[in-house]
């Protein structure tokens, strides 16, 4: 990256707890990034007011306002592009990104998942981990590709599964670890770069954008 703080566009659908953690981290100039905008498809997302209170621009691109999914995909891509992000961070964003956004920001879209991928992909990851009887699960930060939870893995952290865990208690502990993992991973990416070789990622290495 250049000497200026990296610009993050954060995509949310709800309360935006990961977004809030990124905003808090960005107050330290050593973090190396600033949240340039928060974008959502949900006009009632609680994170919108949190972002606005911090003076961060927000945008709503509601699927219901468009005649079809492709038109929405294109509008979302234009909205993201207008904020000139260095990284796009999906922080509880509940829609799959379409080709317009994926093409514009290939290798620069970060997502998180409440399981140790490739185990337990999909929306029921925490429940699936409990049903499988695993003793350890966790969270994964990865780059986004065209699939569902299939992108190259950037970082992972383990969370113990306790005998008395419910889906809610386990998910709460995963989310606490997940927030820290996203912040630390994004911070490393913007300060030290990253490289992708097929499915292998390496943090702390230069990318072509480092020279821009």
For 38-74, what is the HEC assignment? EEECCCCCCHHHHHHHCCCCEEECCHHHCCCHHHHHH
- pTM, 2 dp: 0.93
Domain end point (choices 70, 88, 105):
105
Domain that includes residue 138, residue range: 112-205
pLDDT of residue 209: 46
pLDDT surpassing 80 at residue 206: no
Q: Are residues 117 and 101 in the same domain?
A: no
Q: Are residues 101 and 1 in the same domain?
A: yes
Is position 210 within any domain? no
Domain end point (choices 105, 133, 150):
105
Q: Are residues 147 and 64 in the same domain?
A: no
Enter the DSSP assignment of 211: G
Phi, psi of 81 (to 5 degrees): -60, -35
- Average pLDDT for residues 101-120, to the nearest whole number? 97
pLDDT of residue 205: 73
Q: What residues act catalytically?
A: 113
- Give 140's contacts (C-beta < 8 A, 6+ positions apart): 112, 113, 115, 116, 117, 149, 153, 155, 156
pLDDT surpassing 50 at residue 115: yes
pLDDT of residue 2: 52
pLDDT surpassing 50 at residue 210: no
């Amino acid at each position: 990256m250049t000497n200026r703080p990296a610009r993050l566009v954060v995509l949310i659908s709800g309360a935006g707890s990961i977004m809030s953690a990124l905003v808090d981290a960005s107050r330290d100039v050593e973090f190396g990034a600033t949240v340039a905008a928060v974008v959502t498809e949900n006009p009632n997302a609680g994170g919108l007011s949190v972002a606005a209170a911090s003076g961060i621009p927000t945008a709503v691109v509601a699927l219901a306002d468009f005649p079809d999914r492709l038109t929405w995909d294109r509008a979302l891509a234009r909205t993201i592009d207008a904020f000139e992000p260095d990284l796009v961070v999906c922080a509880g964003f509940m829609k799959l990104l379409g080709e317009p956004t994926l093409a514009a920001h290939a290798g620069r879209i970060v997502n998180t998942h409440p399981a140790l991928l490739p185990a337990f992909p999909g929306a029921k990851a925490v429940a699936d981990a409990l049903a499988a009887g695993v003793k350890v699960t966790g969270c994964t930060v990865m780059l986004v590709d065209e699939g569902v939870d299939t992108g190259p893995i950037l970082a992972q952290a383990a969370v113990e599964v306790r005998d008395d865990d419910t889906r809610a208690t386990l998910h709460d502990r995963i989310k606490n670890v997940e927030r820290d993992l996203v912040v630390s991973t994004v911070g490393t990416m913007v300060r030290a770069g990253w490289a992708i070789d097929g499915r292998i990622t390496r943090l702390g290495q230069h990318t072509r954008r480092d020279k821009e």
